[in-house]
Amino acid sequence: MKGMVVSRVKIADWAVLKGRGVLTTIGLGSCVGVVLYDYRSRVGGLAHILLHDSRDFPNKSKPFNPAKYADTAIPLLVREIENIGGNKERLRAKIAGGSQLFKNQKVRESVGEKNLRLVRQVLEEHGIPIIGEDVGGNYGRTLHFYVDTGKTIVSTVGRGEKEI
Amino acid sequence: MGEDTVNSFKLDVLKELANIGTGNAVTSLAKLLDGEKITMEVPDAKLVPLQDIPESLGGAELPVAGVFIESTGDIQLTILFVIPLESALKIISVLLPAARGDFDALEQSALLEVGNILTSSYLTALSLMTDLLLLPSPPAIAIDMSGAIISTVMAEARVQDDELVLLQTTLNSRRKRIIGYILIIPDRGALGTIFARLGIR
């Protein structure tokens, strides 16, 4: 990690980076971490998405934070990646999170599932293929994305880590 | 916070409500833990950026047990009782002397009950003071990194504000060194209703 930029992405937050560096987000529960990566220009971004669809929330905060919702965070990330030299056509996605931590939530579609559904839908609308994922289950995840290689590591409490 | 601006006077009022609520909860917890002496810090009521809440309890990666309850009725409240795993093990060893400490179903249900009792006593106090009907949901438990638990609870609460009123209390037991946190997140309308009940504008 020596000499590398390590940028921490908080909840409802985003970051983009070019070249050598790591984008990290800790504690994805029902939230979904979305990595977008242009392998050729080695430009990438990460968003930590809290909620599914901004159109479902009429009383949003002002100023509006687009990184909080799947439908607005992904277009934002695409734009910002393009701004630092990435190409939308080459973007690939990796996603992690969308779990259901609390056991007795007996609902038809959990918050995590809703988030995942919207993330997949918005990525598809933008023509961005998902090439790696670690989603669902009942546990939280931490994600490290190495921007220069695209390598993405997901770690958990008590379940080890894996590359997606 | 939209039209319901929260000034420092209002935050003090919330602090006092939390103080009485937590006092009640501490008494219940002490009874449950064989008369263990529990102290509580003066509750904090503050406006916190959403993004900083997962960090507010000793780091987003800290392994914790979280008991989550939603209260409906006259107002909507989200309640989370967070215990770092080390403390959770001590609570379990008092309640279940033969426990293995592996957080199996029985041990989780013991923690769930502790969370339930704490929260119910808190809500009872709040309900008496404000004369509001508070209906807690059945509690749910998760054991994971605190950041994942807290962000999930905020998503469950469909938090739309980027800044939240957070009532936070730290519980401490000297002898056994048990630490616990109670987080209360009232929704936007709830604060207005509470202040109106107390005659505060």
SS3 of residue B141 by DSSP: strand
8 A C-beta contact, residue B146 and residue B60: yes
Give domain status of residue A164, yes or no: no
- Dump pLDDT digits (tens) for A44-84: 999 999 999 999 888 777 788 999 999 999 999 999 999 99
Cβ distance B54 to A12 less than 8 Å, yes or no, reads no
pLDDT of residue B1: 43
pLDDT of residue B37: 79
Cβ distance A57 to B155 less than 8 Å, yes or no, reads no
Give domain status of residue A161, yes or no: no
Q: What is the CATH number of the domain that holds A76?
A: 3.30.1330.200
For residues A41 and B177, the model is more confident at A41
Boundaries of domain holding B26: 8-197
Give domain status of residue B3, yes or no: no
* pLDDT greater than 60 at residue A135: yes
- The residue of chain A nearest to residue B80, with distances taken between CA atoms, is A102
pLDDT of residue A3: 64
| Chain B residues close to A140, C-beta within 8 Å | 144-145, 147-149, 152
Tell me how far apart the alpha carbons of residues B7 and A33 are, in angstroms, rounded to a whole number.
35
The residue from A22, A23, A31, A96 that is catalytic is: A31
Per-residue pLDDT of chain B (201 residues; tens, 9 = 90+): 444 467 888 888 888 888 888 888 888 888 887 777 778 777 788 888 888 887 777 788 889 999 999 999 999 888 888 889 988 998 898 888 888 989 999 999 999 988 888 888 888 888 988 899 999 888 999 999 999 999 999 888 888 778 777 777 777 777 777 788 888 888 878 888 888 888 887
- Residue among B60, B141, B155 minimizing CB distance to A111: B155
- The residue of chain B nearest to residue A64, with distances taken between CA atoms, is B162
pLDDT of residue B5: 63
The two tokens of residue B197 are 């009940």
* Contact residues for B169 (Cβ-Cβ < 8 A; gap 6+): B18, B22, B40, B41, B43, B44, B181, B182
Boundaries of domain holding A116: 7-154
The two tokens of residue B158 are 């469909």
Considering only CB atoms, which residues of chain B are within 8 Å of chain A?
2, 50-55, 60-61, 63, 66, 68, 138, 140-152, 154-156, 158-163, 188
Give domain status of residue B2, yes or no: no
Give domain status of residue B96, yes or no: yes
A70 and chain B in contact, CB less than 8 A: no
Residue A108 distance to chain B (closest CA, Å): 14
What is the domain count for chain A? 1
Give domain status of residue B192, yes or no: yes
What is the domain count for chain B? 1
- The answer to whether the complex's ipTM is over 0.95 is no
